[in-house]
Each structure stands twice: as C-alpha cells, then as structure tokens.
Structure 1
Amino acid sequence: MATEWLGLHFLFGAFLIGAVLSRGAGEHLPRTATQETRQVTLILLLPAYFLLAGLRVDLSALDPSGFGELALVLVVAIAAKTASAFAAARLHRLGSRDLAVLATLMNTRGLTELIVLTVGVETGILDGNLYSMMVIMALVTTAMAGPVLSGLLRPAGGGEQPFSGETAAHDEPLPARHAREETG
C-alpha cells in the first residue's frame, strides 16, 4: 500500500516485503496454513496472473515488419542471456557442456519477465505492440529450454546424465578442485 501511495507500482511493495522477510519468517505459522496458502497461489492465483497477462497480448496489430521485429527481439534476447551466462560460467571455469546448460537455463525466466513486462505496460513504459512481442519472447525462450536441455544432457550412449560441474581445464569436478586448491 505504501508503494502505491508513493506512486510506485504495488509489485515493488510486494517485492520489498519478500526481500525483507526471511524464508524462515513463517515458521511460527501452522504448517497447514502455509501449505494452504501455497496451494491457493499455485492453483488459483498464478494461472489467473498468466491469463491476465496473456489477454493483453494482441498480435493482430503486427504487420509483416512487426514479425521481423519480433524475430529480432527473440535473437537479441537469446543472445544476451546466453552471452551473459556464458561469460559468468567461463569465469568460473566450467566445462563446455556446463556452459551450454547454464546458458540455456538463463532462458527460462519467463515468469520474472512477465512480471516486469506487466509493470512496464501498466506504467505506460511499454506500448501494446512491444508488450506483445516481449511476452511472445518470454514464452518462446522458456518453451525452448526443455528440448535444448534434453539434447545437452543426453550423453552419447542415450541415457540421462546429470549436470557435471566439470572444469574446462581439468577432469575433476569443481568441488574437488576447489578443496584441493584451498589446501594447497
């Protein structure tokens, strides 16, 4: 309420409350109360939020050049997320496969993007066309992550392989390498 009164979006207030309260702040509440709240949120409120965000999407206003802009938005979003994750993972000396997995996982931030986009369109920062393109970008990048991860995590033999944590220069996993480096 305070952020709304200050002229800021109410989601900033919800974010601040979430940031201030620790994960264990609700431990004094009965377990059933927190489980029920979680159930209501996941079953009722989250799908309603997605529905309302989707109702604002209007692709009928896009002309052929608008679809070119949509393709450009997709390319830039995927490249930016992938490059930033790749750079961070390279600094931590992750192996090539792990770099690719981390970069792919960065493309799954659809819910966060939808929240930011909703705030942007409600405050007038984004117009309807840009909002629609950005929502499609969030959906496409999130949807593509599953198949890409399946391909990345499938070993040559065909079974599933977990995230390896290997470094580019060494064959030992990162925790073992860090322990060895700390002890000398």
Structure 2
Amino acid sequence: MKYPGLTESQRLVALLEDALARETRLWKAPVFKNGRIQGTDISQDQHQDVILWLGELSRLFKFCTETYALGVCILNRLLASVKAQPKYLRCIAITSLILAAKTNEEDEVIASVKDLAVRSGCNFSTAEILRMERIILDKLQWDLYTATPIDFIHIVSSGCLIFST
C-alpha cells in the first residue's frame, strides 16, 4: 500500500494498523476443549502434528515462510468454522498450503496439484484436493489473506531498522 505524504514512521504505523484491522476482521482460531477442537473429533495432538507436517511440506516444496504461515492461518480459520473429521485433516491441511502458495508464490514455484499430492504422500487424489479447495474457498468467502505473524514481524523489524539509524 502506498501512503503518500507520510513519514517513514507514520507509514509503518499505518501498515501495522491495516494489518491489525484485517486480522481483527478475519482471524479465527480453533477452540480446544477437553483436548479436542470444539465441535470435532480432532485432537490437539493431531492439530499439532498436521501443522508440523505442513512445515515439512513447505520446506519440501521450497515455499517461503510467508506461505507456510498463511497456510496455517487458512487451516485454522477453516477448522474454527466447520466440523471437520480427522480423516480429512491432512486433505484440509495440504489444500490450505496449496491455496496459500497460490496466493503468495510465483507461478513457476508451484507444481501441479497432482505432483504436490504425490510428493506429499497425503494419500488424497487430485480430485479430492480440488474439491476441498472449493469447500475452503466457499467457507472462507474467497478471502484467504489474513495478517499472519510473519507480517507483523516484517512490519516491526522494518520499524526497528528505521528507528535504530
């Protein structure tokens, strides 16, 4: 975003305010009750395992850190919105990462969905992943991008560099 006429510190404050407003509007996280995501049979351990698996996939596919962070945010927003079954958790997770990659990565970095499915070892077909993609997009009203922790780190570190000089 451009902020003409603002000083560098005012621009950073505006960026931070924009990110906070977007996060406030879109942020949802699954609520854990008795060791499970409320309203599902997904345990806290299963949730943690799938997030670690997404990190491994992100490194395997050579995605940037921002893509991984957005993938986790998409996954969590969906799990906070629907009653997902544990057997679909990896399908939801890889689809969240693929959607994050489509949002953040250059086209030449992203392999085909079929290749990503095979290389991930997720045991879901291309058709199942594409069907899940449509479900996620519908449930999140096609608004995938939310502020991630990485965004705040970038904004704050930019401010630190400016204020330290």
TM over 0.5: no
Of the two structures, which has the highest relative contact order with CA contacts closer than 8 Å and spacing of 6 or more? 2
Largest Rg, 1 or 2: 1
TM-score, scaled to structure 2:
0.32
TM-score, scaled to structure 1:
0.29
